[in-house]
Structure 1
Amino acid sequence: MNAQEETSTPAVEILPSNDKNPSSVGLKKVTPYWHPYTTMAKGRWLGRELLEVVSTEYRDRSMDFYRYAIESGVTTINGVVAKADHIFQNGDRLENVVHRHEPAVTSTPVKILHHDKERGFIVINKPGSIPVHATGRYFYNSLAEILKNDFGFEKPYTVNRLDRLTSGLMILPLNAKLATKLTEEFVQGKVKKEYIARCEGRFPEEDVVCEEPLLTIDRQMGLNVVHPEGKPAKTLFRRIRYDEYNNTSVIHCFPQTGRSHQIRVHLQFLGHPIANDPLYSDPRIWGDKLGKGGIDTTPSDERSAPQAPAHLVLDGPNPESLSPSPNQSGDAPPSTERKLFPRETGHDIGMGAPVPLSAQAVDIITRLRNMKDEDEDWGRWRDVVFRAKGKLMPSILRAPVLHEPPPKKRAGRRKEKKAAAAAAAAEAEKAALEEPTDATPAPGTDVAVEEDNATAPQAEATPVADSAPAEDINKPAQITEEDVMKLAAEDASAASQAPPPAPELIVDKNGMYYCSECFVPLHEDSKPETLYIFLHALRYTTSLGTFETEMPEWAAEGWDWAR
């Protein structure tokens, strides 16, 4: 079962600003909400501890917080409350309850440019800042959910995708048959794609073709580089205009392939990165050359532990180092030698890379991470408020709930059940042949075959009662996906008359704001003009026809850009 599909939409309020600055405009933000998340163990997780996996896959919170959250009981594996040292095995089902704070997006609306009801597809203009699919911290602010909730398109097929920061045209089939056909056109290179970009410097007047192979080297930061082990890629660039007053060029881009960040990385390689690209055009990351000519690809094993900035005075133990966890009495247990997790030593950089990374690549990723931390006021290093709080508990759960672990499903049992069902069906068919043809079965006599579904709903949640066994009362609450979905739906129904208020804020002695529900450090929302880049999908030509949008505002001649 997919929790994101089955969960009732919570009562949320679309806010024009962040929680701390009600006067800001140009943003759309969803009120934070509790959300159940379910996934099966990925190949790269197998044989590794839960806490190691969580702290490596995600960097939004401190390592100390991830341990605290797991110990609070909000994470289950195969329906049983998980322990931090659980070793992932193939087939493990991870369920986690998170308090989702979706990042703000621009208030620019999605536009439906064309709706072909007969052939079953729509053409839209996607604003920059909105991801196509629910990913990371985005769900209701994703294109798929906006089309569903605001326009009533239950299942648009996103056969072509745009980066979150990229704006422009998308063609979305509304049925599987057309989606398959259009996907084949994109894969076979039959679709002519045209983009507009504004890049740094004076781009050459003649056409330029870049055919450098591209490789994703860091999944968390979404970093792609030119690399000999990468996938083939080809882009044609044609200058439209050079604007001397801001030293940028507006160019027409014709990608012949569809690699991740293809136009952005090819322009960077040519020495003309997209002018406001936060990933590929910042000299603090790439130096004065801004990545022109690519980076060194000589493998290196050098790594260093992450360090807090010199100006930051930590309030207590370092939250990015897993100091011994206090026991129930509050006393720290004796210190014991343990193996450090990759995130503590810096070896998480490159863990998921398809090739060994060079020292320059490691340095670039480290700078990107530090810039992200700086933009968030080093909140990950100041993530300590939860230490003075009780266990993390979703407010929608009125009381802790306990569940017996679901029975393990073995292949032998499935065969026995299917054999028994087949025998029962044969007996029923035999009996039906002996009855008069106008006879109707009595209520409750239908033969039902139970589906073997690993995510089938479990027993109904039962609050802890006085009659519960003493040893169970002290166990962590086994919070399952079904509990959260049921109670969230009840809360949404009860609050349908008025949206719920945003969570209250906690302020520490240093002026850091935290959410009172999940204790996440809160930061000022980004400015709308920083949530998109100067890259726009202008025109697509397919078997369905040629479709295009208007030129983006920032591509106009004489457009004033306040850097």
Structure 2
Amino acid sequence: MQDTQSTNQGVSWQTVEADYADQRIDNYLLAQLKGVPKSLVYRILRKGEVRVNKKRVKPEYRLQAGDLIRIPPVRVADQNPLPSANLSSVQALDQQVLYEDDILIVLNKPAGMAVHGGSGLQFGLIESLRALRPQAKHLELVHRLDRETSGCILISKRRSALRHLHEQLRNKTMDKQYVALVRGQWQDHVKLVAAPLLKNTLKSGERVVRVDADGKPSETKFRVVERFEDCSLVEASPLTGRTHQIRVHALHAGHPLAQDPKYGDEGFNQQMRERGLQRLFLHAKSLRFEHPQSGEMIQVVAPLEPSLLQVLKSLRQ
């Protein structure tokens, strides 16, 4: 997107770059006018205050490269500024880059870092990356990880790459593998958990997910990697991408994750704390996908952090 001018009492004119071709005008405006209520975006479209090439358009209009968009003056809520690139937590992300080229980045996300700001957090991983890579104007998360989960997370640098990668997620051709430590002896014959998941938001704003017939279809493959006396290390491959999916599916199978503050078993959590586990034992171990530009298959592996390796070592003794 190029700002060609900003006159006429706050009216702005934007020329659509090739990267935004085929995006719906409503989605484009929602992304450009961050902080503007959705209802207002649809109102200015409906009233014809937004023009494309001097004509009124419907929300479903798909942009073409070179389109000239007229955007009326709207009040944008104050945005959180990007964090300083000098902050140690921001700079530390540079050490977590597992793969990077002109159009995408794969990071080993630290546990405890949210993927984006909001809900009282000033900034998260994506804001930190934007501060570190100011020249990359179109950084976007391809998928998400829970705040407590560590491991592989994919970020696109171009809209065209984002579209391609989202298509792989929809078609289930992107392979995501996690490792998790769970309570008890996982049964070998439980290779697939298929249980619909329903998301609820509590008054506090906390999100809680449960197995419910009214929920969205959800599937996770599980495989035992290693057995210990009272717990199992499993590999989990989600075939769908629901919130807290692996955690709730493991619980549904009777094996809650170690140190899960939301869905865990307190007795088991206490046992794991005594072994030095201070965080949820869920790690996005690897990511395999088709490169949006070259078409080659890329596989990226994120090593387990030392604290998790130490817990496994303690269990083996």
Which residue matches 2:99? 114
CA-CA distance at 1:131 after TM superposition: 1.2
Residues 41, 94 of structure 1: 8 Å contact kept: no
Is the Cα–Cα contact under 8 Å of residues 189 and 257 in structure 1 kept in the other structure?
yes
1:40 and 2:40 correspond? no
Matches of 1:115 and 1:38, distance apart in 2? 30
Q: Residues 129 and 189 of structure 1: is their aligned pair in 2 closer, same or farther, counting only changes over 3 Å?
A: same
Aligned residue among 219, 223, 230 for 2:208: 223
Deviation at 1:558, TM superposition (A): 4.0
TM-score by length of 1: 0.36
Task: Map residues 47-196 of structure 1 onto 2, 5 A cutoff.
Answer: 109-110=92-93, 111-117=96-102, 120-140=103-123, 142-152=124-134, 153-196=136-179
Q: Unaligned regions of 5+ residues in structure 2, if any? A: 1-33, 41-73, 81-87, 268-275, 292-297
Q: Match of 1:396?
A: none
SS state of the match for residue 204, structure 1? coil
Aligned with residue 303 of structure 2, among 546, 550, 561? 550
Larger strand share, 1 or 2: 2
Residues 123 and 93 of structure 1, relative CA distance in 2, 3 Å threshold? same
Classify the secondary structure of the residue corresponding to 1:186. helix
Q: Indicate the structure whose relative CO is greater, using CA pairs within 8 Å and at least 6 residues apart.
A: 1
Change (3 A) 1:276 1:174: same
Q: Give yes or no for contact 2:256–2:265 (8 Å, CA) kept in 1.
A: no
List 4+ stretches of structure 1 deviating above 6 A.
105-108
Q: Tell me the distance in 1 between the aligned counterparts of 2:101 and 2:76.
A: 41
1:542 to 1:95, Cα distance in 2 relative to 1, 3 A? closer
Q: How does 1:121-520 map to 2 (within 5 A)?
A: 121-140=104-123, 142-152=124-134, 153-218=136-201, 220-244=205-229, 247-283=230-266
Contact 1:196 1:536 in 2 (8 A): yes
Structure 1: distance between partners of 2:159 and 2:309 = 36
For residues 349-383 of structure 1, what are the alpha-carbon distances to aligned partners after superposition, in whole Å with 9 as ceiling and x for unaligned?
A: xxxxxxxxxxxxxxxxxxxxxxxxxxxxxxxxxxx
1:172-222 alpha-carbon deviations (Å, 9 max, x no partner): 121111111111111111111111111112212345210000000225221
Identity of aligned residues (%): 27
**Contact persistence 1:215–1:229 (CA under 8 A):** yes
Answer yes or no: is the 8 Å Cα contact 2:179–2:236 preserved in 1. yes
Alpha-carbon distance change, 224 to 551 in structure 1, aligned in 2, over 3 angstroms:
same
Deviations 1:89-145 (A, max 9, x none): xxx9795899xxxxxx9899331111113xx111111111111121211123x0011
Q: Which residue of 2 aligns with 1:410?
A: none
Taking structure 1 as reference, are residues 225 and 93 closer, same or farther at Cα in structure 2, changes over 3 Å only? farther
Question: Kindly tell me: are residues 187 and 146 of structure 1, through their superposed partners in 2, closer, same or farther at Cα, counting changes over 3 Å?
Answer: same
Deviation sequence 1:281-308 (CA, Å, 0-9, x none): 1459xxxxxxxxxxxxxxxxxxxxxxxx
Alpha-carbon RMSD: 3.2
- Cα contact 2:194–2:218 (8 A) shared by 1: yes
- SS at 1:168's partner residue? strand
Structure 1 residues 193 and 167: CA distance shift in structure 2, 3 A: same
CA contact (8 A) 1:207 1:239 kept: no
**Partner residue in 2 for 1:367:** none
SS in 2 for 1:109: helix
Aligned to 2:270: none
Q: In the alignment, is the contact (CA less than 8 A) between 1:194 and 1:255 conserved in 2? A: yes
Q: Structure 1 residues 265, 555: CA separation in 2 closer, same or farther (over 3 Å shift)? A: farther
In 2, the alpha carbon distance for the partners of 1:97 and 1:234 equals 37
Q: 2:11: which partner in 1? A: none
Alignment-derived partner of residue 416 in structure 1: none
